[in-house]
Structure 1
């Protein structure tokens, strides 16, 4: 099945192709037509299954033909349990707006940072991704209204209840119109999800997609135990001592990507970054530079990294761990393709060790974690 057959316009498909995706993920094949038709939907799919683009594409498809609104009434609301997920989803929306017929303003809001810039930036926002607590704060401050919501998305709905968001969710739903399209995604179908459906008063179409198992048998996996302070110098040590000429480095945020590139350049390592905050032209050019060998290191976030296909890529380095084991598999799967032997290196601080043990368990493989205590990082 092609993206064209899902009912998406050329504008959306242009962004899809620029990201390097060749065909829809299973969850996208099944869910996008239902979302485009306006039906309520419950998608059961693991993180890393393509579910974010699954709702991003049809939402933007509909909005691009609507009249621009310059007020504080939010039309599309995406509720998420964590700050990290809010940032990630907003980044996906921004990437897919590149080729649309008109500009669509998106924004992510979450706690832990000053509320004032979020209040000031709310005018004209059409798609808001938010954590429940901060959204309520903004509503109480009269910074926005959700009384005109047309489409509500709840991502990681199971975690909403696990993390104790029931009260906030009830307060928010009471402020929304009863008539709206609702799309939910969850890793599992359980009693808590049924509670949410009852709370929402919907009987959604349910789509469940099993996770795909990637073949990572041709990838040599190595992990190094580092301190937070030595992680940057050790990365530079690995690149220089092993004379790496082409290495893809994964990080968790656009900010880290740009900061890491600055450090690499200052240490005479040719590096560039690629992420959702860069223009489509910049992303394309940077990927071309990397493929041609004009730069040694390409630093990428998961969003862009999943669409990168480079024949014979020898090394992938996880500078930071991804949120899910499936994302980890997708990352390291950029190397060792077509039965080539590839190397995947992961840098772990003390805080990463437990999460990495979960990744290994889910992956069904044990990765040796090597000490770096004896490595002399002077000059790196």
Structure 2
């Protein structure tokens, strides 16, 4: 199927072509026409399934037919769980809107940075992408009004609830007009997400996109048995041995992430950490440098990794395993995207062996585990 068959204008089709989108993903094929018809939509799909464009494209199309929003009265509100995802969604909207005849102002707002510049930029905003806490801060400062929102998007609703935003979301719902179009996207459906679907969505078109065998086939997975004290040297050995120019490393704690970065730098490998203790400016700059290829290694914790969307990322390394198989799949799914191959490497200590067996069983895939006893890790 072609994007031209989905009811989008030539301006949007031009942007799609320039961004290199060849054909719509399943969720885009189903969601775009439904949103254009004014339906509420419930989309159950994993991260990396193309859902951002699935709602951004039809929203931009609809906004072309609406009058410009009154000052500080936004027309479209997109709620997201993290700062990184807010910036990613803002970037997608911006890139898709470049050729539209009617200018659409898009703004992302989130905590961790000064509120004053965000308040100043809100004037004339049509599409506001926000984390729940910062949005309520702006409402309390009388910097934004939600009474004229016509389209509400809840992106990664399950993650927002898991991160403890339920109370904030309930407060936001009370500020919105009763008549609006609602689009909810979530990787899972259950509990509080179902409650939101029942109370906020009206006869939604339901779209379920199954995860492709949980793990994209293009990801080449391998694991290495290693003693805990040799994990650092092995990591540096692999980066140098395979000449990795762009690799995302996952650590389970902020402290470990910082330690990895420090030791990589001492060994001449340019690296940066991405976690909650970093300022927003530092996180944005680290991600920018990594995407541009100026930093070889980005070391991230799971929470900070939300919103990292890099096409053609060749390597992901699990320095430490995550607690759940779902998080493992999410981590390694950062590579093998956009129909490009990628490699996922896990460092397995004796204490990790049983947990890694559980992960493999849940994935339904065996991962080759290589010994490292004979590797020369001296000087690393």
How far apart are 1:345 and its partner, in Å?
Answer: 4.5
Cα pair distance change 1:109/1:345, threshold 3 Å: same
Q: Compared with structure 1, are the counterparts of its residues 343 and 212 closer, same or farther at alpha carbon in structure 2 (3 Å cutoff)? A: closer
Structure 1 counterpart of 2:19: 19
Per the alignment, residue 332 of structure 1 pairs with: 336
Say if 2:320 is the partner of 1:316.
Answer: no
What's the Cα RMSD here? 4.7
Instruction: Label 1:164 to 1:319 Cα distance change in 2 as closer, same or farther (>3 A).
Output: closer
Question: What's the CA shift string for 1:293-319, capped at 9, x where partnerless?
Answer: xx99899x85450xx59xxxxx53559
- What is the Cα deviation at residue 34 of structure 1? 0.6
Alignment of 1:105-184 (within 5 A): 105-184=105-184
Q: How far apart are residue 217 of structure 1 and its match?
A: 7.5
Name the structure 1 match of 2:72. Answer: 72
In structure 1, the residue matched to 2:47 is 47
Residues 316 and 335 in structure 1, CA contact (< 8 A), matched pair in contact too = no
TM-score by length of 2: 0.68
1:226 to 1:336, Cα distance in 2 relative to 1, 3 A: farther
SS in 2 for 1:331: coil
CA contact (8 A) 1:78 1:128 kept: yes
Shift of 1:172: 1.4
The 8 Å contact of residues 216 and 336 in structure 1, kept in 2 or not, is answered as no
The offset of 1:149, in angstroms, is: 0.5
1:194 is matched with 194
In structure 2, runs of 5+ residues without a counterpart are 251-260, 271-283, 285-290, 299-306
> CA shift at 1:365, angstroms?
4.2
Aligned equivalents of 2:11 and 2:357: distance in 1?
42
Deviations 1:241-290 (A, max 9, x none): 54x4x8554589xxxxxxx9xx99xx799xxxxxxx9xxxxxxxx99xx9
> Structure 1-normalised TM-score?
0.68
Moved more, 56-65 or 143-152: 56-65
How many Å separate the matches in 2 of 1:24 and 1:48? 13
* Structure 1 gaps, min length 5: 253-259, 270-276, 278-285, 310-314
CA distance in structure 2 between the partners assigned to 1:114 and 1:296 by the alignment: 27
Give, in angstroms, the shift of residue 146 of structure 1: 1.0
Following the alignment from structure 2 to structure 1, what is the Cα–Cα distance between the partners of residues 269 and 166?
A: 51
SS of aligned partner of 1:332: coil
How many Å apart are 1:39 and its aligned residue?
Answer: 0.9
1:1-380 aligned at under 5 Å gives the runs 1-64=1-64, 66=66, 68-69=68-69, 71-200=71-200, 202-213=202-213, 216=217, 219=220, 221-222=222-223, 241-242=241-242, 244=243, 249=247, 303-305=309-311, 308=312, 316-317=315-316, 325-326=329-330, 328-329=332-333, 331-332=335-336, 343-345=343-345, 363-365=363-365, 368=369, 375=377
How far apart are residue 215 of structure 1 and its match? 5.5
Q: 1:158 Cα shift?
A: 3.1
Q: 1:19–1:236: structure 2 CA closer, same or farther, 3 Å change rule?
A: farther
> 2:335 is paired with a residue of what secondary structure?
helix
CA distance in structure 1 between the aligned counterparts of 2:22 and 2:105, rounded to whole angstroms: 27
Query: How far off its partner does 1:185 sit?
Result: 1.2
Aligned length: 332
Quote the Cα distance in structure 2 between the aligned partners of 1:80 and 1:335. Answer: 26
